[in-house]
Amino acid sequence: MNENTVKIKDPVLSIRNLSVSYEKGKYAVNDVSADIKRNAVTAIMGPSGCGKSTMLRAINRMHELYENIETKGTLIMNGKDITHMPTIQLRRMAGMVFQRPNPFPTMSIYDNVVAGYKLNGIRMKRSERDDIVERSLRDVTLWDEVKDNLHRKGTFLSGGQQQRLCIARALAFDPEVILLDEPTSALDPVATAKIEDLLVKLKENYSILMVTHNMAQAARISDYSMFMYLGELVEYDKTKDMFTNPRDRRTEEYLTGKFG
Amino acid sequence: MNSDKITKAVLFASSFVILLIAGGMIFSLAGGAIPAIKAFGLKFIWANTWNPTEGQENYGALPFIAGTILTSIAALLISLPLSFSASLFLGEYFRGTRLARILGTMVDLLAGIPSIVYGLWGFYVLRPMLIAVGLPNQGFGIFTASIILAIMIIPYATSLSTEIITMVPGELKEAAYSLGATRTEVIFSVIVPSARSGIVAGYILSFGRALGETMAVTMLIGNANKIPDSFFGTGNTMASVIANQFGEADGLKLSSLIAIGLLLFLMTGVINSLGKFIIKKMG
């Protein structure tokens, strides 16, 4: 842990000495250590190619879908070492939302929400499933908009609604953390504002880790912020402290728009 | 005249010639079929008879329609598991690997082999094997023809399905993986449903190819002008009866063969349009 890293008590997730390389000797993420605050929004910022998405994807090991990836380090969730946990189990504990809304076009809204259960072949009672669908859709404030069309395909929804559906899909497993990879970069300002409000509301029950290239967004909704540069975690602090009084020169230059 | 006008004129003229050839073919087929249509009417399509005896001439297309549809459906069913697996292998599982490139090349190679070579292989290699396992009629018949047809249509269904499977957005696969799906679950719950209509269209188009395939089938089907009495019995297809008999046919018999040709043309036309329609509809 470097001196520019904030101390967090009882973290939901601890990242220890995480390094990811795509090519031998070249690190996309270089020896990052950080604790993630429970029931808070933590933003990961940095210029393109700084490794922020790779780090996010290393948490639920989505980066393993690509070949020749080498990962070092330890991940601890709620005090339990999850570094080598089977991905099937791990990914249910760490839900993910992507840049562009990606609901399954062949499935109804209802089936999209419980897609995780369906894909994994988990059987449950109809009423149980109904409950999960309603709870998840209410969580993302989509229930009232779609409750009469639950069995229609989600493709008629607007981009913002589709993204909220994708968040509901991630919430359906009641995950320990929600990982969001620039979740509003494909949305218009109105839809973006809705998602931002939603994330602030969701932190009551969930812990949120979000990659964003949008500093203003990080300032608006996050409680904690990380600044990454060239694979390194340069600074990690309470958002309001970092934005008012950055400790590292590179953070300051990034926040003042000198690069990025 | 300026060059734009010349270009336009040449393009128009060439396209018009093609149109004329296609139109002329349909027109002459229809014209050639008139005597048979006059003699037998629509009944020609479902009449189960093929009697070339002079004075008692009576022709119907049913034995050949039955043989054609039977062999084509059987070929489709036999080829389906192979081409379905191959397209997943090429388009998803081993996509971009050396192994996939080798298999892809082999599949393309299958598509390039001339029909007569398939027929020859079927005659001298496949048939003796089938005789050895007890197939009657010297190994000739619907079953043998279906196997050869199946091998011949594998590349068509495979390459189209592969293309469609490759087009399934990576974002959807990632979404499924992020929900803890295994690779098998991603393939069967996300990729196949997303590519479904394209895969179906691929099979319809390869069915269309099977309908019209001539040479290899003619060499193996046994050329019996009757409705096949069993799947392992002999029969004949529309394309094969034409190939076999046009040389010594004249008069009403020739006209009947031409009418069969016209029917085959219509059948493949409908099947191909259906396949293309499905592809177009899914954009």
pLDDT in tens, B159-200: 999 999 999 999 999 999 999 999 999 999 999 999 998 899
Give, in order, the Cα–Cα distances in Å from B137 to each of B141, B219, B220, B233.
7, 13, 11, 7
pLDDT at B241: 96
- The secondary structure of chain B as a DSSP string is --HHHHHHHHHHHHHHHHHHHHHHHHHHHHHHHHHHHHHHGGGGGT---EE--TTS-EE-SHHHHHHHHHHHHHHHHHHHHHHHHHHHIIIIITTTSHHHHHHHHHHHHHHHS-HHHHHHHIIIIIHHHHHHTT-SGGG-SHHHHHHHHHHHHHHHHHHHHHHHHHHS-HHHHHHHHHTT--HHHHIIIIIHHHHHHHHHHHHHHHHHHHHH--HHHHHHS---SS--SSTTS----HHHHHHHHGGG--HHHHHHHHHHHHHHHHHHHHHHHHHHHHHHHT-
Would you call A104 and B185 a contact, using CB atoms and an 8 Å cutoff? no
Mutation site for A-interface testing, chosen from B92, B171, B178, B183 by largest number of A Cβ within 10 Å: B178
Which among A62, A106, A173 has CB closest to B174?
Answer: A62
pLDDT at A230: 94
Adjacent-strand bridge partners of A19: A72
With a CB cutoff of 8 Å and minimum separation 6, the contacts of B152 are: B75, B110, B115, B118, B209, B210, B213, B216
pLDDT at A12: 96
- Contacts B97 to A, Cβ<8 Å: none
Does A66 reach chain B within 8 Å, measured CB to CB?
Answer: no
A-B CB pairs within 8 A amount to 72
pLDDT band for position B1 (50/70/90)?
low
Scanning every residue of chain B, which has its alpha carbon at the shortest distance from the alpha carbon of A174? B179
pLDDT at B104: 93
For the cut 80, the answer to whether the pLDDT of residue A2 exceeds it is no
Mean pLDDT of B218-226: 94
pLDDT band for position B55 (50/70/90)?
confident
Would you call A119 and B181 a contact, using CB atoms and an 8 Å cutoff? yes
For the cut 90, the answer to whether the pLDDT of residue A154 exceeds it is no
Task: Tell me the pLDDT tens digit for each residue of B87-132.
Answer: 999 999 999 899 999 999 999 999 999 999 999 999 999 999 999 9
pLDDT band for position A142 (50/70/90)?
very high
Minimal Cα–Cα distance from A77 to chain B, Å?
Answer: 17
For the cut 90, the answer to whether the pLDDT of residue A259 exceeds it is no
Mean pLDDT of B211-226: 94
Q: Which CATH architecture has domain A13-255?
A: 3-Layer(aba) Sandwich (3.40)
For the cut 60, the answer to whether the pLDDT of residue A7 exceeds it is yes
Closest CA to B217 of B77, B59, B46, B69: B69
Q: Where are the domains of chain A?
A: 13-255
pLDDT at B283: 57
Mean pLDDT of B222-247: 94
For the cut 90, the answer to whether the pLDDT of residue A258 exceeds it is no
For the cut 80, the answer to whether the pLDDT of residue A131 exceeds it is yes
Closest CA to B263 of B1, B118, B6, B62: B62
pLDDT band for position A66 (50/70/90)?
confident
